[in-house]
A = this chain, B = another copy of it.
Amino acid sequence: MIGLAEREEGLDFLPKFGADGLATCVAIDAGRGDVLMVAHMNEAALKATLESGFVHYWSRSRGALWRKGDTSGQRQRLVELRVDCDQDAFLAFVEVGGDGGACHTGRRSCFYRRLETGPAGPRLAFVEAEKPAG
């Protein structure tokens, strides 16, 4: 049993996966510092990421290990991995290959819409003009 102090203040890497075997990983553009995407890793994805130096995720929709960029060319070379206090979430600072984007819709970041409040309740608005990731 790993104690709380050990997990939060220690220097042992003790990643914690949820009941579904997953932990959240936030990918950040190492050069620009902004969030590209949020996805999940299981233990195998984390291991493959650390061994290869390229970020792997677990695709919940496909039920498969997924090396990001295999089809799109948008590989994510791992520059730095940070872990949060209770070691169940990661920040992956990455250098992106291909056109530099991360989103399957063709945009650079998956977070291309923001919430705005209108008279009929919340609505989305595009954050910037839609354009290719490059």
Contacts and interface: CB of A to CB of B under 8 A. Distances in A.
A124 B11 contact: yes
Given A38-B26, A91-B111, A103 B123 contact: no
Interface in A1-35: 8-13, 20, 24, 26, 28, 33-35
A105 B12 contact: no
Nearest to A23: B38
A12 B118 CA distance: 12
A89 interface: yes
Contacts of A122: 13, 50
B114 A85 contact: no
Given A12-B124, A24-B24, A83 B37 contact: no
A125 interface: yes
Nearest to A78: B115
Contacts of A24: 24, 38
21 contacts: A8-B105, A10-B124, A11-B113, A11-B125, A13-B115, A13-B123, A13-B124, A24-B24, A26-B26, A26-B38, A33-B33, A37-B84, A80-B114, A81-B115, A82-B114, A83-B115, A83-B124, A84-B110, A85-B103, A85-B104, A89-B110
